[in-house]
Amino acid sequence: MNFELIKDEIAERLPEFILIRRKIHMNPETGMEEFKTTDLIIKTLESFGVYEIEKIGETGVVAIIRGNGEKCVAIRADIDALHIEEKTNLEYASKLDGIMHACGHDIHTISLLGSAYILNRHRDEIKGIVKLIFQPAEEKGIGAKYMIENGALENPKPVAIFGLHTWPDVEAGKIFHRHGKMGAASDRFEIKIIGKGGHAAHPEKTVDPIVIAGNVIVMIQNIVSRELSPLDSAVVSFAAINGGNVSNKIPSEVELKGSIRTLSEDTREYVHRRIEEVVENVSKSMRGSSEVKIHKGVPVSYNDRNVSVLIERACREVLGDENYIENPEPSMGSEDFAYYSDYVSSAMYRLGVGFKDRENAPLHSDKFMADEEAIPTGILSMVAVAEKLLNEL
């Protein structure tokens, strides 16, 4: 492929790509409810001359661009938004109360749509098949499984799948990438501390679940700080504490909710076990009882070495070494993209979307904004990586 020509083609259609992205941004939809987004994706693909399209259930799309050959690679973009009230004051801010593209999935979507336009335009130069996967419900951690269960990785089966994710800490137009571990496993827990309620003036006649809960919280934090190696990584965060609703009565129960993030399966299983042990033993030692439920979520995400190296080479060759940044460490954030790696070699890279010389709001912030200067890089990098994988994997 002539990537200098492709850069010109992207620049020529960029105003249209920006308008599509803004339409998606203004009309965000949350996981498994991306009905209008799905319809927009299909109509846009058809307008680009891509007609081998399958709608997955009510939300989600798989499209195929056939070149010369049977080898297949897949590109994934997630399309869902978050339950966040947007406070960016952008002229194209979300029209819907309490829903926002605060994680950049609108950028992911337009990057893949733009890639579809370019790849279809140059399909005679492609040595194989490119499968485009527009996935719902990443934020709920169920979308990748949904697409896999509905055949997204079959007929044809790709030899590899890749995707990108916006990264506001990196300037727009640059790629931020690493090999190996990419993101953490994400699990959630629910703890119920059961005591004996009574008058706040007579605590000796009660078993105070609030005091027990306080001790449980402290002891669980000690798992990370005193039982794991400083070279290992884990995060246990308590996000909700509920118990009682008046000032003069000790409640009979307290409920705690939170999340667990780990970077290895061994650490994951250890933290789970120790949380259960700590909650049970602390509660018993203070005359109470307890219930613990731990819900496993997304596993640790790894970038396959062979795929990841080709991503690096493609980005360096097309964008220049100055626009490629080595990512020194994995994130404690999670990605349901990890589920694809159970079936096919996979890797993901970060797309810088930060504005230069200003503070950028983080992902999942009500003030998150992506610099649209990143869109050409998103499209170009996807096309380059797809070609590189088909030619060299």
How far is it, in rounded angstroms, from Cα 61 to Cα 146? 12
Residues 145 and 8 in one domain: yes
Chosen domain end from 258, 280, 297: 297
Q: What string of DSSP letters covers 225-285? A: IIIS-TTS-EEEEEEEEE--SSSSEE-SEEEEEEEEEESSHHHHHHHHHHHHHHHHHHHHH
Q: 327 with 141: CB under 8 angstroms?
A: no
Q: What percent of the chain has pLDDT over 70?
A: 100
* CATH number of the domain bearing residue 253: 3.30.70.360
* CATH number of the domain bearing residue 12: 3.40.630.10
Binding site residue list for Mn(2+)? 103, 105, 139, 165, 364
Residues 341 and 316 in one domain: yes
Res 360: pLDDT: 98
Residues 350-375, mean pLDDT to the nearest whole number: 97
DSSP-based three-state secondary structure for 343: coil
> Do the strands 324-326 and 234-242 form a parallel or antiparallel pair, or are they unpaired?
unpaired
Res 93: pLDDT: 98
253 — pLDDT class (breaks 50, 70, 90): very high
How far is it, in rounded angstroms, from Cα 284 to Cα 23? 56
Residues 308 and 373 in one domain: yes
Residues 354-378, mean pLDDT to the nearest whole number: 97
Res 166: pLDDT: 98
Tokens of 305: 């070495």
Q: What 3 state SS string does 162-224 have?
A: EEEEEEEEEECCCEEECCEEEECEEEEEEEEEECECEECCCHHHCECHHHHHHHHHHHHHHHH
How far is it, in rounded angstroms, from Cα 220 to Cα 279? 8
216 — pLDDT class (breaks 50, 70, 90): very high
Residues 252-279, mean pLDDT to the nearest whole number: 98
Chosen domain end from 257, 277, 297: 297
pLDDT tens readout for residues 19-65? 999 999 999 999 999 999 999 999 999 999 999 999 999 999 999 99
- Using N-to-C axis directions, what is the helix angle for 374-392 and 305-319, rounded to 10°? 130
Q: 164 with 353: CB under 8 angstroms?
A: no
Residues 220-246, mean pLDDT to the nearest whole number: 97
For the chain, what is the mean pLDDT? 98
How far is it, in rounded angstroms, from Cα 221 to Cα 385? 42
Residues 263-273, mean pLDDT to the nearest whole number: 97
Q: Find the farthest-apart pair of alpha carbons in the chain and give their distance in angstroms, rounded.
A: 82
Task: Say which residue the tokens 């003030």 belong to.
Answer: 367
Residues 34 and 117 in one domain: yes
Chosen domain end from 297, 327, 362: 297
113 — pLDDT class (breaks 50, 70, 90): very high
Residues 26 and 48 in one domain: yes
Residues 178 and 97 in one domain: yes
Residues 172 and 281 in one domain: no
Q: 381 with 319: CB under 8 angstroms?
A: yes
What is the span of the domain harbouring residue 371?
3-183+300-392
Residues 144 and 199 in one domain: no
Dihedral pair phi/psi, residue 146, rounded to 5° = -60, -45
Binding site residue list? 103, 105, 139, 165, 364
Q: 267-288: buried (b, 16+ CB within 10 Å) or exposed (e) per residue?
A: bbebbbebbbebbeebbeebeb
Residues 285 and 324 in one domain: no
185 — pLDDT class (breaks 50, 70, 90): very high
How far is it, in rounded angstroms, from Cα 42 to Cα 243? 48
256: β partners: 191, 241
DSSP-based three-state secondary structure for 62: strand
Residues 42 and 162 in one domain: yes
Tokens of 264: 């290895």
Cis, bond preceding 158 (omega within 30 deg of 0): no
Res 195: pLDDT: 98
Residues 142 and 235 in one domain: no
Residues 171 and 71 in one domain: yes
192 — pLDDT class (breaks 50, 70, 90): very high
Task: Please report the sign of the dihedral spanned by the C-alpha atoms of residue 108, residue 111, residue 117, residue 121.
Answer: negative
Number of domains into which the chain is organized: 2
Dihedral pair phi/psi, residue 332, rounded to 5° = -85, 0
